[in-house]
Structure 1
Amino acid sequence: MIKSAIILFLSAMLGGLLAINSVDAVKRNIKILLVFAGSFLFSITVIHILPEIFEAGDNHLHIGLFILLGFFFQQVLEYFTDGVEHGHMHHHHHGEKHSSLKSLSLIVALSIHGLLEGTLLAHPESVHGNHTEGTLLAGIIFHKVPAALALISVLSCQYQSRKTQLFLLTIFAMASPLGLFAGHFMEDIGWMDHASMTFLFAFVSGNFLHISTTIFIESSPEHSWSTKKLLISLLGAGLAVLSEFLF
């Protein structure tokens, strides 16, 4: 658990630090990383998370409802994040008060999302086998790095201070590790039983479905054919399948 928490934290920090001094380079290349991340995340959700959640739970209707709730809850969160969690880089220049409020809502919403995805790594053996943690961790990392890149690109337009950017980035980076610890804690003290954890994971899988499908849709806004995008998508999906045998 400690190792996974450290990896989650460092992946977000690394993505943000890479963007601090190279925002222009990030803008040029983030779509490639996003397509790969979206394909990997979508693939592990479809071939890994969803089947094993349905296998672990007895009430499939309730599981499906929680997946839908998670899907639409992520849409609500995006009202506050402007889609930063799937790579949007909106550069709005407003007054200081408006920017502070916008940044606060952005960080709070991203932290809620981070907490939820962190819980997916909590006691994976209660819903599926121990082998799943490596695959899920990889999927979250591939998603978190471009999210951190996009976050810094937004914050750099709102705050000139590097200290402020790093402070807000650190809050974002801590969210998923805290979610991981919270998931373990809630199960250890009996706040959440097997059924509750299954519904929680179904809810988070709905978040993943929304993020990954949105990445695909927005990577080709004009629905134009792109061989490069297809190859990158197949690479992401292939690695997701391969990870089932490696972890």
Structure 2
Amino acid sequence: MIFNSIVLFICAMVGGLLVYGLDKKEGINIKLILIFGGSYLFSITIIHILPELYQSEASGMSIGLFVLLGFFFQNFLEYFTSGVEHGHMHAHKHSHTSVAGYSLMIALCLHAFLEGTFLAYPNIFHDHGSKSGSLLIGVVLHKIPAALALMSVLTCQFDNKKFQIFLLVLFSLASPFGLIAGSYIKTIGFMEDAGLLFLFAFVGGNFLHISTTIFIESSPEHNWNFKRLLVSIGGAAVAVLAEMYV
């Protein structure tokens, strides 16, 4: 748990701090990173999360309903975040108020917290065969560009660099806190296995929304792009290899 928490924190911090060293005109490179992360996240949801959920003792209807709730809750979060969690970049100042900035932080931290709780239960579905390593990679691949995109917005909304980094630290701590909270809930038996399965289905719906939105918005003109196709196939291939060997 300590190792995973440190990895989650460092990756988010590194991803966010990259904004100070990157030329914001390099949007295509950021898009390719997002496509790779989105492809991995989508693939790991399809080949790992959903099969495990539907093989559990919970009813398929209940699982499906919570996946849908997670999917549309992520859509609701975008009302506050403007899609920052899957890489919407803002290269110049907008008329966002500080309240909107705080709402954005709350929404993104909630999402990151739920991601962390997911990693606390690698064996909740079965006594064997479930792995947290592949899920950790998926969360990390998503978190680095998400933190980069988040900081690109915060640097436009807030002029104080120390405050920007303070908000980045809060965001970076959200997933580790979720992992710690999930482990604590597991230890004290606060939540039954069925409740945890529904929570995971909810987060799985989050992942589906984020990953599919990345695919759609990576090519708003719907032009076929061989480089993006190769990157997305690469992300899926890494997901399959991670599921098999990690």
TM-score where L is the length of structure 2: 0.95
Deviating more after overlay: 221-230 vs 19-28: 19-28
Task: Tell me what 2:103 maps to.
Answer: 105
Aligned to 2:120: 122
1:130-141 to 2 correspondences below 5 Å: 131-141=130-140
Q: Which amino acid in the other structure matches residue 197 of structure 2?
A: T
Higher mean C-alpha deviation, range 26-35 or range 233-242:
26-35
Aligned position for 2:94:
93
Q: Distance in 2 between matches of 1:57 and 1:74?
A: 26
Tell me, yes or no, if structure 1 residue 71 matches structure 2 residue 74. no
Q: Secondary structure of 2:24's match?
A: helix
Aligned residue in 1 for 2:224: 225
Tell me what 1:2 maps to.
2
Question: Shift of residue 8 of structure 1?
Answer: 0.4
User: Are the aligned partners of 1:12 and 1:144 in contact in 2 as well (CA < 8 Å)?
Assistant: yes
**Structure 2 CA distance for aligned equivalents of residues 236 and 211 of structure 1:** 15
Cα gap change, 1:23/1:167 in structure 2, threshold over 3 Å: closer, same or farther? Answer: farther
Distance 1:27 1:19 in 2: 12
Q: How does 1:25-174 map to 2 (within 5 A)?
A: 27-90=27-90, 91-94=92-95, 99-128=97-126, 129=128, 131-174=130-173
**Higher mean Cα deviation, 135-144 or 185-194?**
185-194
Q: Counterparts of 2:230 and 2:88 in 1: how far apart (Å)?
A: 22
**Cα separation, 2, equivalents of 1:156 and 1:20:** 9
1:16 aligned to 2:16? yes
User: What is the deviation of 1:246?
Assistant: 1.7
The 8 Å contact of residues 45 and 209 in structure 1, kept in 2 or not, is answered as yes
8 Å CA contact retained: 1:13, 1:148: yes
Amino acid at match of 1:113: H
What amino acid is aligned across from residue 160 of structure 2 in structure 1? S
Q: How many residue pairs get matched?
A: 244
* Structure 1 residue 131 displacement after superposition: 4.8
Equivalent-residue separation in structure 2 for 1:51 and 1:3 (angstroms): 27
- By how many angstroms is 1:25 displaced? 5.5
Q: Which moves more between the two structures, 21-30 or 208-217?
A: 21-30
% identity of equivalent residues: 57
Q: Are residue 198 (structure 1) and residue 197 (structure 2) matched?
A: yes
Residues 130 and 6 of structure 1: is their aligned pair in 2 closer, same or farther, counting only changes over 3 Å?
Answer: farther
The alpha-carbon deviation at position 92 of structure 1 amounts to 4.0
Q: 2:77 & 2:37 partners in 1: Cα distance?
A: 20
Is 1:111–1:175's contact at 8 Å kept on the other side of the alignment?
Answer: yes
CA separation in 1, counterparts of 2:11 and 2:184? Answer: 23
Q: Aligned equivalents of 2:216 and 2:20: distance in 1?
A: 27
Would you say the 8 A contact 1:124–1:130 is kept in 2?
Answer: no
Cα distance, 1:52 vs. partner?
A: 0.6
> How far apart, CA to CA, are the structure 1 residues paired with 2:153 and 2:28?
15
Q: Is the 8 A contact 1:23 1:153 kept in 2?
A: no
Note closer, same or farther for the CA distance 1:63–1:93 as it changes in structure 2 (3 Å cut).
Answer: same
Cα distance in 1 between the residues matched to 2:65 and 2:224:
34
More helix per residue:
1
Q: In the alignment, what sits opposite 1:244? A: 243
C-alpha distance in structure 2 between counterparts of 1:9 and 1:130, whole Å: 27
Q: CA deviation at 1:245?
A: 1.9
AA in 1 matched with 2:106: V
Equivalent-residue separation in structure 2 for 1:106 and 1:60 (angstroms): 33
Moved more, 138-147 or 184-193: 184-193
Indicate the RMSD between aligned Cα atoms, in angstroms: 1.4
